[in-house]
């Protein structure tokens, strides 16, 4: 039987060839990776990507400090018109909802009984005046006779007393005439103040009198008109100082705070703090020439507490909150992001007043902060102030929107 030659040397040769091929492929891969034109070289040659962000510039400007609250419109004066004498209404001279002036005729009550009382008082006066004239004539006669001792002194003194009594009666008659004339005047009921009348509560032909609790009509003075609102007691010092310098400006806005209705001024700071709520009541007065404010209406009030001169102002969008407090990202001179801690004072209308941490002219990131960290290379794009919604500048113009004050 023929002998089979051993196959181990052939197998070893095949394994050796495979190892040589593998080593060659590995060497080629290493050369491709680290040689000229490799990935690290390309990465080194390529500049780092810039992160696109939107920025705004910090400004130095006068910053008005506002306080907003909820208020209720109230008539400056309210009068319920009532009859001062009893009688039947013979004339109604007003229309419901009408604007009246002080002194305008509203209602007439039947004047005939009161005219008769006046005529009677005047007749009594004339009667007593005639009696007085006769008594004075008799008194003069008694004086002459007394001097001639023809009559007694007692007769003279008795006649003098009669004259004095008639003089007193005449004074009483004059007072009665004044009273009767006043009662007659009361039959013409006139508006005591200027304002808008409400619903008529007594109609033509009704009997009215001083005891009627409902009255005839209510008049509310609406030009000018008042708004009552509250502020927390912590603002007392600032409110007192502001009132001491004049009459602070107050604007009335819609309850949503999105539209200004009217401008007025602060007139009253109440003399008592409400212990239950910790607030103090204030009253502002508005001309209300266009009748946009109505008694009972709810409004948002915007009080100009003070103005900070040349304050550093930034967009509130730039302010971020971190574990160590508030911070902003500032675009550094090398175009990289710099994290800066800030101390803020007030925020209103999309703008924040900064006490520390930012200088005027510095550019701050307002959009895209989530992709930014300290040292990030930035591609900044300036945001227009108009787009940012500068409501502080527009707050002085009626009809402009206003944002809620953040404290």
| Per-domain residue ranges of the chain | 55-75+222-394, 80-109+187-219, 111-185
Q: For the domain 80-109+187-219, what is the CATH code?
A: 2.40.50.100
At 141, the pLDDT band (50, 70, 90 cuts) reads confident
Annotation: CATH topology of 55-75+222-394: Elongation Factor Tu (Ef-tu); domain 3 (2.40.30)
Specify the pLDDT at position 399.
42
Architecture in CATH of 111-185: Orthogonal Bundle (1.10)
Q: φ and ψ at 155, to 5 degrees?
A: -65, -40
Specify the pLDDT at position 182.
96
Instruction: Please give the sequence-ordered ranges of beta strands (E in DSSP) within 165-317, or none if there are none.
Output: 188-190, 195-197, 207-208, 217-220, 225-232, 249-253, 260-274, 279-286, 298-315
Is the model more confident about 16 or about 161?
161
Is the model more confident about 269 or about 40?
269
Rounded to an integer, what distance in angstroms lies between the CA atom of residue 179 and that of residue 120?
12
Confirm whether pTM is higher than 0.75. no
Specify the pLDDT at position 405.
43
Specify the pLDDT at position 395.
54
Task: State pLDDT tens for residues 217-227.
Answer: 999 999 999 99
> Over 50: is that where the pLDDT of 43 sits?
no
Please report the DSSP string for 277-325 in residue order.
TTEEEEEEEE--TT----TT-EEEEEEEEEEEEEEEEEEGGG-EEETTE
Q: φ and ψ at 143, to 5 degrees?
A: -60, -45
Specify the pLDDT at position 161.
92
Q: What angle do CA 179, 185, 188 make, to 5 degrees?
A: 155
């Amino acid at each position: 039987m023929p002998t089979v030659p051993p196959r181990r040397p052939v197998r070893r040769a095949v394994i050796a060839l495979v190892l040589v091929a593998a080593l060659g492929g590995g060497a080629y891969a290493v050369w491709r990776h680290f040689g000229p034109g490799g990935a690290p070289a390309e990465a080194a040659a390529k500049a780092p990507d810039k992160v696109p962000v939107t920025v705004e510039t910090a400004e130095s400007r006068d910053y008005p400090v506002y306080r907003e609250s909820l208020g209720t419109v109230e008539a400056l004066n309210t009068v319920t018109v009532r009859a001062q004498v009893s009688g039947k209404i013979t004339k109604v001279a007003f229309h419901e909802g009408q604007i009246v002036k002080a002194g305008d005729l509203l209602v007439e009550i039947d004047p005939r009984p009161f005219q008769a009382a006046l005529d009677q008082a005047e007749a009594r006066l004339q009667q007593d005046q005639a009696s007085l004239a006769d008594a004075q004539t008799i008194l003069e006669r008694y004086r002459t006779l007394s001097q001639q001792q023809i009559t007694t002194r007692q007769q003279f003194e008795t006649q003098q007393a009669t004259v004095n009594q008639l003089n007193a009666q005449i004074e009483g008659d004059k007072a009665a005439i004044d009273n009767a004339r006043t009662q007659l005047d009361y039959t013409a009921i006139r508006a005591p103040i200027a304002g808008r009348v409400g619903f008529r509560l007594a109609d033509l032909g009704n009997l009215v009198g001083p005891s009627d609790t409902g009255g005839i009509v209510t008049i509310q003075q609406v030009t000018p008109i008042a708004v009552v609102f509250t502020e927390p007691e912590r603002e007392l010092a600032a409110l007192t100082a502001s009132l001491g310098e004049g009459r602070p400006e107050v604007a009335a806005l819609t309850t949503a705070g999105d539209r200004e209705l009217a401008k007025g001024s602060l007139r009253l700071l109440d003399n008592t703090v409400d212990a239950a709520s910790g607030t103090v009541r204030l009253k502002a007065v508005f001309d209300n020439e266009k009748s946009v404010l109505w008694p009972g209406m709810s409004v948002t009030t915007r009080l100009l507490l003070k103005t900070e001169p040349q304050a550093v102002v930034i967009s509130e969008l730039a302010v971020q909150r971190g574990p160590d407090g508030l911070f902003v990202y500032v675009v550094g001179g090398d175009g990289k992001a710099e994290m800066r801690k800030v101390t803020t004072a007030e925020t209103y209308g999309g703008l924040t007043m900064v006490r520390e941490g930012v200088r005027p002219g510095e550019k701050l990131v307002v959009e895209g902060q989530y992709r930014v960290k300290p040292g990030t290379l930035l591609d900044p794009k300036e945001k227009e102030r108009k787009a940012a919604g500068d409501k502080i500048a527009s707050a002085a113009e009626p009809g402009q929107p206003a944002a809620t004050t953040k404290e």
